[in-house]
Amino acid sequence: MADNKTERLINLTLALLATKRYLKKSEIFRTVQGYDGTADSMDRMFERDKDDLRALGIEIQVGDLDPFFEDEPGYRISRSSYSLEIPNLSPREVAYLSVAANFWKDSALTPAAQSGIRKLKSLGIPAAMDLASTIEYRFENPKAALLEITEAIDELRQLEFEYQGSEVTKRKLAPYRVLLWNGYWYLVGLDLVKNEIRMFKLSRVIGDIRAVGKKNAFNIPSDFDIRSILPSTAQDARNLAQVSIKKGEAITLRSNGRRLSEGESTDLYEFRYDLPSSFLRTLVWYGESVEIIEPIQLRNEIVALVSGEKP
């Protein structure tokens, strides 16, 4: 049964690809192997087959056979819309794509990466062999729903999900982008309850992410730039602190700050930071090698932190 159906789908694809003119439904039923039964049941069969092929990304063109005599539409698949053609793809580029496709070991992206690269290998362009990849990329395994999310972004559909913050909340989002940031996956978009651009760590989403409502439900601002919403880097952080560092110590820390003055046993450095909690964690790492001089507020916070008070 399943075999028959698969055979019919393949034969239908071949027949529609081979024809230069549009084929009438009656011609298809008469010539393509696998259509039988009453006119009604063949009609239903054909409608389902068309839907199945479209779900596979195969475009079936519908056209008028002869506008003067018939109103019955005809069907065909154009070679150019069916097949993959990438002009001037070089052997080196095929090699890059092969390396790229192998990143996704046993993850939600593996099947798409593998089937994609197989199609590219079927183009008949040899892959350049001298390109050995010696860098391995390790990142958080992407969630199974990753490609569905990208589809929702593509179709401009809203998403709903439950999110583990300090407590579990229900979120509704106009999704703008998926982001792989420093090895972790995030979903970025307009939070429709808070009416703000927000970032969500995908690993903290609980259960399913559901696409809801109609397509084209919102617009992504054309000037949207993911970097504008990422926490700022050290250079443009807003807060300033002065820290004294013992001679010859905290070498790594020094490279992130600006030296203000040199003393006898310590040097004075200035640092920029955004989140006090994460800056304090860094300073505590260096133990007694570093001492906060200013601001007083931050001095008090580090004392509280190392005395076991809640930050």
Partner 1 sequence: MSEASTTRTARALDLVPFLLENQGISVEELADEFGITQMQILEDLNLLFVCGLPGYSPLELIDMNFEDGYVTVSDPQVLDKPRKLSKPELTTLLVSLEVMKTMANPDVRQELEDLQAKLRAVLDHKPTIDVVVNEPTDAKLDEILQAIVRGCAVEINYLSAHSDKESWRTIIPNRVYVEGRHTYVESWCITSQGERVFRLDRILAIRKSDQAFSAGVERSDHEPGDDYLLFVSDNARIFIEENSAVIAHTAKISNGYEVLVTAIDQDWLVRTIAGFGPEIAVLNPPALKAALSGHLTAIRSLYQ
Sites for partner 1 among residues 72-91 (CB under 8 A): 79, 81-89
Q: Does 14 bind partner 1 (CB under 8 A)?
A: yes
- Tracing tokens 């001095």 back to the chain, one arrives at 299
Contact string (CB under 8 A) for partner 1, positions 40-69, x = contact: ------------xx-xxxx-----------
Mention every residue, 6+ apart, whose C-beta is less than 8 A from residue 217.
Answer: 156, 157, 158, 174
Smallest CA-to-CA distance from 294 within 228, 225, 243, 219 is with 243
> Which string of x and - marks every residue 99-138 that binds partner 1 (by CB under 8 A)?
xxx-xx----x-xxxxxxxxxxxxxx-------x-xxxxx
In the block, tokens 């420093």 appear at 182
Distance (Å) of CA 43 to CA 9, 31, 40, 49, 83: 14, 15, 5, 10, 27
Q: Which of 127, 145, 250, 298 binds partner 1 (CB under 8 A)?
A: 250
Applying the rule CB under 8 A, the residues between 268 and 287 that interact with partner 1 are 280-287
- Across the beta sheet with 290-294, the strand order is 258-262, 266-273, 239-246, 290-294
Q: Pattern of binders to partner 1 over 186-215, x per CB under 8 A?
A: ---------------x-x------------
Would you say 71 or 182 has its CB closer to partner 1?
A: 182
Instruction: For residues 36 and 148, give the distance between their C-alpha atoms in angstroms, rounded to a whole number.
Output: 37
Residue 71 vs 112, nearer CB to partner 1 = 112
Q: Is 13 a binder of partner 1 (CB under 8 A)?
A: yes
Quote the DSSP letter at residue 168.
Answer: E
Of positions 43, 128, 139, 192, contacts partner 1 by CB under 8 A: 139
According to DSSP, the residues that pair with 219 across neighbouring strands are none
Q: How far apart are CA 174 and CA 188, in angstroms?
A: 9
**Cβ closest to partner 1, residue 138 vs residue 214:** 138
Out of 15, 173, 205, 209, point to the residue binding partner 1 (CB under 8 A): 15
Stretch that binds partner 1, among 2-10, 61-69, 208-216, 258-266 (CB under 8 A): 2-10
